Amino acid sequence: MKKLRVAILGSGNIGTDLLIKIQRSEFLECVLFIGRNLSSPGMAKAIAMGVKVSDESINAIVKNSDLVDLVFDATSAKDAKNHWDILDKLGKIVVDMTPAKLGIFCIPAVNLEEVIEHRNINMITCGGQASIPIAYVIGKTQKNVEYIEVVSSIASRSAGPATRLNLDEYVDTTENGIKHFSNVPRTKAILNLNPADPCIDMQTTIFAQVENPDMGYLEKEIDIMIKKIQNYVPGYSLLVPPVFENGRIVIMVKAQGLGDYLPKYAGNLDIINCAAIAVAEQYSKNFNNIK
Amino acid sequence: MSLAKNKIVFEDCRASCVEIESFSILDNQSILITGGTGFIGKWLAEMISFINSVSDVNIKLYLLGRDITKFKEEVPHLAEKNFINFIEQDIRYVHDLPSDINYIIHAAGSPDNREHVSDPLKTIETFYKGTQSLLDVASRIQNLKKIIHLSSHQVYGRNETEELISENYFGSFEALNVANCYAESKRIAETLCSYYKNNLRLPIVILRPFAFIGPYQDIEKPWAINSFIRDAILGGPIRILGNGLTERSYLYASDMAYSILRSLIVGKVGEIYNLGSNKPISLNELAFKIQGQSTVKMEILSKSSKENYLSISKLVPDTDKITKDLNVREIFTIDEAINRTILWNQLNKKVK
Amino acid sequence: MIKQILISDPTLRDGNHACAHQLNAEQIAIYAEAADKAGVPIVEVGHGNGLGASSLQVGLSKEDDKTILETARKHLNKSKLGIHVIPGFATIKRDLVNAIDIGVDVIRVASHCTEADITQRHLGYVRERGKEAYGVLMMSHMASASVLVEEAQKMELYGAEGIIIMDSAGAYLPSDVQEKISALVNGLKVPVGFHAHNNLGMAIANSIMAIESGAKILDGTARGFGAGAGNAQLEVLVAVLEKMGYVTGIDLYKILDASDIAEKEIMSIVPTIKSDSIVSGLSGVFSGFAKHVTRISNEYEVDPRDVYRELGKRKIVGGQEDMIIEVVMDLIRNRK
């Protein structure tokens, strides 16, 4: 088997955590870790791990185009747009961690097979990775779902300046993602930051308005879905199984991080990274004809 | 409309540029401006554009900034000029620059307090790492003649006197103020300048800017004069936040640009100069002036946490040194400055 | 010297918490008109958690934001129309643009007391539109005075022209109010305000303490109609302030009339300090949780007081209503 050669663009928290996760993968090899500043903590970590690094941003891939099959873009929405113009021409596969929304929305537990037909895959949002699979199951098992709402609470310390400045984009993208996968016309996403010490784990509640819910079918399918997600997000768990309360279905899930580069409470960053790696691994499996 | 707007700027450059012949020394020289796409960068580009167009001098410009596309959208008439070259880069990560640079004006970094408090680390990195990266590269440039480092009046801390602030003043700092990261990183940047000047003999001149006003300054910035003008353009009321007796001063943008260029040719290496207006005006007077220049009637409201303040904040520079060494003076009065700024912004809005 | 106090009346916003967000357009019209007549400077309307907050999480509104705002707008002449906006619930594009287009005058952008930096963009947008922008720090009992000052300073720099701290849990004693308001008045340039809840019977006393400590803005609602044990009772507040020589611009007789109308027309129950509310206040739980805690505790037969205690222990913040279910489930599990 030949490991898929990947590059990581962006040496911040997301990029560095991806790097550590990739080191464990049987299917992926990180051939290039790229940022803009060789003295950043992420770069230092990569150098210490013996990974080839570059501070030349997108040019590093242009120069080493033959060495790279897939690029994780962990920069910003604005940069990701510029990068894609170049990477598209180079024929690279891009797993986009930013909210640039250039490619197909991906929830590995739902549409992994479909997305690997594409070359630009968008990982939506962290809250989306936690809630959309559940919303999808609700949409699939229940008739006449009028409305789905997801509420995520994350530890304040896991939300950096960019997240805080871009709450509106988070809400907007997550709502679109739920609509897309559940086929429910009205959706709403809410995000709470909780400063409690010790830090809370990321927790997401999914509500749905349904006239006559089929709870048995729902419970069965939710269990299957949870196991499917746990295959690539080990810290994902069902906190409160489906209950029908006050005219609404309520399901609660929790995402604890693996504690790789970031602490365990940063489950929000962990889940989107785990999902992105599941996508890249699927490409690798396909190239190697592994089922 | 766009033409009328650009004409204001061009005429202002003409009015401020008193000794235009003194810039012949810059003929065929290259100037790098970091933060080249910001308020100061745009005005320096306008002033040099003016000098290039009305005299025989040919000055080449490198504008370094993070978002060149935005600059091209905002000032297409400058972006198309042949003497302007762009370098799209983040100042923090600069490691190589064109070798034909003769002068550097270091104006990178946002003075917007909102950004400072929301992302203090980035603020500190921009001024500390950014200045260090730049000076490192500068020390490897062969024919470099001068570097103008734009610091900030905030390095003075609080002014506890009623005097104008002279270059050797040193005030106190509130330990717990959330916006301190800006002043502190500007101070470390000056310390870096001092090192590069003493040990590596870089020809550095430091300017400490106070408040400016004029076209290209975003009236959404949360500073008093910008807010008053914005309030006035929207039809009022003009809202004074905090102590209305607070005193500031405002240097008009084209006067600022001219002073910076003068410092490039006659500023003394190793010296520090205040850059601003030495004419104090209280926020109350300022609001009153802006109200007076509006065509519609509007109220002035005062909103303050306290009735009585123990001291009146006064941040106004003593400009004797820069006046004497650089032979510069304020051409635009505060009334003219307000008038031009409102006019330009009204034209700018209609263009949108 | 005249001591002027700015009163903002969120009867039609905080009161929505007290009736599961079921205020209808007619009720909004009736009270808005009465408050306007009384000369209330700012009438705040909306879902209990503000703009864009109608949800299964917090409760669905009887009327949508557009109806609420248009109705209130129509019935306010002198009074300014105010709204409460929490980033994370309300977005600029989806909610705030429309609200300002409808004619809202005063926008109070709120966050949990330690998270002021999520308000930067929303405050910036309000300023851009030239409207009155305030910053609100909710659940302020959960942060120390020095943290509140830092967070409030951020909001001030973002462009807030006043900062209001909320005692969202009704947890303060007058000495707490004195400490925090004094620190804020000292540390800020812009006026400071206080929003009380009455869980420990301190709403009026705390409001007065806030004023005596230098606050210039107070919130009060007719009959105290608001979340949990309710707010500072507006008509009492106006009377007390008048007795103390403060000026509010509100006509006492007319605000008494308005509160009578409110009791008759918009309240199914006048808020009182229920036994549960006392425990809620002692535990420092968001007042807006009260209806949910009562309902879910009844449904699953657990003692609501235990639920409040546990919510307080877990430091749950406003907007985390879903945690009530989890806490109740945990209590049942541990009982077994």
Average predicted confidence (pLDDT) for chain B: 94
Q: pLDDT confidence of A1, banded at 50, 70, 90?
A: confident
How many domains does chain C contain in total? 2
| CATH value at residue C25 | 3.20.20.70
Answer for the pair B127, B186: CB distance below 8 angstroms, yes or no. Answer: yes
Confidence of residue B106 (pLDDT cuts 50, 70, 90): very high
Contact residues, A window 229-268, toward B, CB-based 8 Å cutoff? none
Q: A130 and A32 in one domain? A: no
CA angle A119-A122-A123, nearest 5°?
135
Q: Quick one: pLDDT band at residue B351, thresholds 50, 70, 90? A: very low
Q: Total domain count for chain A?
A: 2
% of chain A with per-residue pLDDT over 90: 85
Walk me through the domains of chain B, giving residue ranges and CATH numbers. Answer: 2-217+251-278+314-337 (3.40.50.720)
A96 plus A27 within the same structural domain: yes
Q: Cα separation of A44 and B318, whole Å?
A: 47
What pLDDT does B2 receive? 74
Could you tell me if C183 and C318 lie in one domain?
no
Per-residue pLDDT of B5-24, as tens digits, reads: 999 999 999 999 999 999 99
Give me the residue from A156, A167, A243 closest to C114, CB to CB: A156
Residues C252, C255, C258: CA angle, nearest 5 degrees: 155
pLDDT band at B352 (very low <50, low <70, confident <90, very high): very low
Q: Closest to A165 (Cβ–Cβ): which among B93, B118, B121?
A: B118
Cβ pair A194:C295 closer than 8 A: no
Cβ separation A161–B90 shorter than 8 A? no
- Mean pLDDT of all residues belonging to chain C: 96
Query: What angle (nearest 5°) sits at the alpha carbon of residue B250, between those of residues B248 and B255?
Result: 155
* CA-based radius of gyration for chain B: 20
The residue from C243, C265, C287 where one domain ends is C265
Does B48 have pLDDT greater than 70? yes
Which among C159, C191, C216 is the nearest to B222, CB-wise? C159
Nearest-10 Cα torsion for C204, C208, C213, C214: 110
Same domain (yes/no): C72, C133: yes
pLDDT band at A75; cut points 50, 70, 90: very high
pLDDT in tens, B61-104: 999 999 999 999 999 999 999 999 999 999 998 989 999 999 99
Same domain, C137 and C115: yes
Contacts of A161 in chain B (CB under 8 A): 118-119, 121-122
Residues C111 and C71 reside in one and the same domain: yes
Residues C280 and C244 both lie in one domain? no
Asked if residue A280 is part of any domain, the answer here is no
Model confidence band, residue B348 (pLDDT cutoffs 50, 70, 90): confident
Our CA-based measurement puts residue B218 at a distance from the nearest CA of chain A, in whole angstroms, of 19
C191 and chain B in contact, CB less than 8 A: yes
User: Per residue in B267-284, pLDDT tens?
Assistant: 999 999 999 999 999 999
Q: Which of A192, A200, A250 to mutate to test the interface with C (most CBs of C within 10 A)?
A: A192
Last residue of a domain, one of C232, C265, C298: C265
For the stretch C74-127, pLDDT in tens is 999 999 999 999 999 999 999 999 999 999 999 999 999 999 999 999 999 999
- Do residue C34 and residue C80 come from a single domain? yes
Regarding whether C213 and C150 lie in a shared domain, the answer is yes
Give chain B positions within 8 Å (CB) of A37.
92-93
- Distance to chain A for C83, nearest Cα, Å: 18
What is the signed CA dihedral for C262, C206, C152, C120, rounded to 10 degrees? -20
- Indicate the annotated binding residues of A: 11-14, 158-166, 268
**B67, B92, B93, best to mutate vs chain A, most A CBs in 10 Å:** B93
Q: Domain residues for C321?
A: 275-335
The answer to whether the Cβ–Cβ distance between B122 and A161 falls below 8 Å is yes
The mean pLDDT value for A208-235 works out to 96
Q: Give A290's pLDDT tier (boundaries 50, 70, 90).
A: confident
Please give the pLDDT value at position B1.
53
- For residue B143, what are its two tokens? 């024919």
Q: Is the CB of B93 less than 8 angstroms away from the CB of A164?
A: no
Read off the amino acid at residue B351: V
In the three-class reduction of DSSP (H, G, I as helix; E, B as strand; rest coil), residue B309 is classed as coil
Q: In the prediction, which pLDDT does A15 show?
A: 95
Any domain includes A37: yes
How many residues does the structure list for chain A?
Answer: 291
Residues B116-160 pLDDT 10s: 999 999 999 999 999 999 999 999 999 999 999 999 999 999 888
Distance (Å, whole) CA C231 – CA C270: 11
Residue B73 to residue C85: CA distance in whole angstroms = 33
| pLDDT over 70 (residue B213) | yes
Task: Look up residue B50 and give its two tokens.
Answer: 């003016």
Q: With beta carbons less than 8 A apart as the criterion, state whether C116 and C155 touch.
A: yes
Q: Which two tokens stand for residue B274?
A: 């205040």
Instruction: Please tell me whether residues A83 and A133 are part of one structural domain.
Output: no
- Tell whether C73 and C158 lie within a shared domain: yes
Q: In Å, how far is B118's CA from the nearest CA of chain A?
A: 6
The domain in which residue A17 lies consists of 4-102
Which chain A residues have a beta carbon less than 8 Å from that of B119? 161
Of C117, C127, C190, the CB nearest to B304: C190
Do A184 and A257 have their domain in common?
yes
In this structure, the answer to whether residues A192 and A98 fall within a common structural domain is: no
Q: What percent of chain C has pLDDT above 90?
A: 97
Is residue C270 in a domain? Answer: no
Cα separation, A48 vs A16, whole angstroms: 12
- Summarised one tens digit per residue, pLDDT across range A238-287 is 999 999 988 899 999 999 999 999 899 999 999 999 999 999 999 999 99
C121 touches chain B (CB under 8 A): no
Instruction: Please tell me which residue of chain B has the smallest CA distance to C161.
Output: B241
Q: Is C91's CB within 8 Å of A168's CB?
A: yes
- B133: nearest CA partner in chain A: A37
Which of the two residues, C151 and B295, has the higher pLDDT score? C151
Q: Do C179 and C305 lie in a common domain?
A: no
Q: Is residue C113 part of a domain?
A: yes
Q: Is C17 an active-site residue? A: yes
CB B90 within 8 A of CB A35: no
State yes or no: pLDDT of C184 exceeds 60. yes
